[in-house]
Amino acid sequence: MGMAGLAACAPRGERATAVFIPPTAAAPPAPRGSGLPSGGQPSPQATATPQCTPQLRYLEDISIPDGSLVQPGETLDKRWAVENAGTCNWDSAYTLRLIAGPALGAPEEQPLYPARAGAQAVIRILFTAPQEAGTYRSAWQAYDPAGNPFGDPIFIEIQVAAP
């Protein structure tokens, strides 16, 4: 507000006087090597981002139910319905790894399907049935970017028919 605004607020017949407030003195520059920015004041500290909690919840087999009879050498398109039940969004840094049994022709480590926290997803792995008759079980586990396993393991269990 300028001087005219102050004069308008004065009682009739009195003249308003402006009060002079000197500017505050600037802080002297911080000495070199003090770790403080110029002005001598510490900069605000960044707060750490809270860590999320990864979690995979198995919901159901979508294809190839446990104990399915398959032919030797058959390509198997296995799909599982899962939920990202944690607070982390799965991105390309999250993996699925073989933890037990044969890989059945699949890569032993592969990206985990990207999914936002709270979302359902479908995990798909293409397997190849062995040539020899028998029962086979391949178990897989999700891993976070730091290499820590988490959540429910998922697996495929098949019966390979005799040739």
pLDDT digits (tens, 9 = 90+) for 108-134: 999 998 999 999 999 999 999 999 999
For β-strands 149-160 and 68-70, DSSP reports them as parallel
133: tokens are 């008759």
What is the per-residue pLDDT across 30-44, written as a single tens digit (0 to 9) for each?
Answer: 455 545 455 555 545
Position 113 scores a pLDDT of: 87
pTM above 0.95, yes or no: no
Q: Which fold has domain 56-160?
A: Immunoglobulin-like (2.60.40)
Residue with tokens 């900069």: 43
